[in-house]
Structure 1
């Protein structure tokens, strides 16, 4: 597993595994392309991401980057098994996780009842550990830039694993801090300085993580709110307003059944996310 050749998959093998990328095997679609479930001849289940045509990487360069990303092994990261670059296809092959993505659970009124508060805490902690590994402990400094519920996969033990963590690097956006004209994130999760001016750093991911923590606790998407009188504001705005008018703890306890320590956690997260002391000056130049 140390060279690009050992990480290469044959296109015909992946076509057979995914039934030629059939809709029945489609697991979802992200900013970089759709993902399909596949089953290899030996019975191994895999997830195949079919990259969009926007990647500017050459074949050799992409293979080299895949080798680097595939070496990142951590319990809270989805493992990249290899890639396929044939004809006009660029495919990434990942381990398959049976519980699929976190959004399928926390935003489903029935399924989210299956999650205990201890499980939610473990999920939040696991995501935080994975993010810390990417930012500080791995051999590569990787800014995710699209951390969200659908990019958190769950294994059979409900251990969270961050997916798509190398795609920004694979798409030639490998700086740990800088400016970009290619905004590769999801509105609702993006830090203001990134969404407005393309300024990204590890702090951008931490902002997204804060939004994700709120969603895990509330069981609601950031871009959707049913709280009376909020006129459909996003979750972050709603919680910020409730906090400001001292209805915060009462509403969260009533709607989510939260214990005191969870309310304190949300309070700290919201206080950070709604702070207005962020300098959003425009960058002098765009690097991408």
Structure 2
């Protein structure tokens, strides 16, 4: 697994380097280009992987290269969105496809969100800013996915910095957008060690619970353990684990518990595993395997 991960990373870095050289030019750009395949799909694939590997303004530049290819890129992107080997490929293709087909609607959502207001809480059943955003962005969910994964022009000027991306995550939960599963898991994992305000942690955990896919359980379990001192986050994480649980979840919780040095957390996870066993008997697994 480690070897495969290293190979994938090396491939991403190679494609990213080539795309940067091809984009910005340089002494060796023309020479390198002569030795690389130049058919349309290879060029698009290079830009796709470059966008996946990039951040900030460089990411936007590669995404725009794909968008500017217009209709000629659509068959390639549709194929990748269905058959891409990694979630990053599939999600990136979906992001660009949405921008190709709903450019004007994206502009409307961005303009509305700039000054949108609403209650900012994560109480279950209470309409909040995330639910308002979900209603307005129901036709452009990949705009929200892109925001929490890569960042984009979706910016609310009324919100403090520590809430950026939080309500987009919450909106994806209200929409139960399954394509957001892995970006939300990545967001939750990324935010856990350093988000003192924890708004993003709360909204990402709730969104994953609403999506109800058992593949989110390991990340939610980690969140539960890391935030043992925060009752609100522990409760939200546990509720999400219960929503996502399937027949394999109890053994996963017990395996995780065995690795913990803290007795209280270990006992809680064992207790949760038994509750899930009792509650899930005779029920179908949650989420898609």
Normalised to the residue count of structure 1, the TM-score between the two structures is 0.31
Structure number with larger C-alpha Rg: 2
**Structure showing greater relative contact order (alpha-carbon pairs closer than 8 Å, 6 or more residues apart):** 1
Q: Which has the higher strand share?
A: 1
Higher-helix-fraction structure: 2
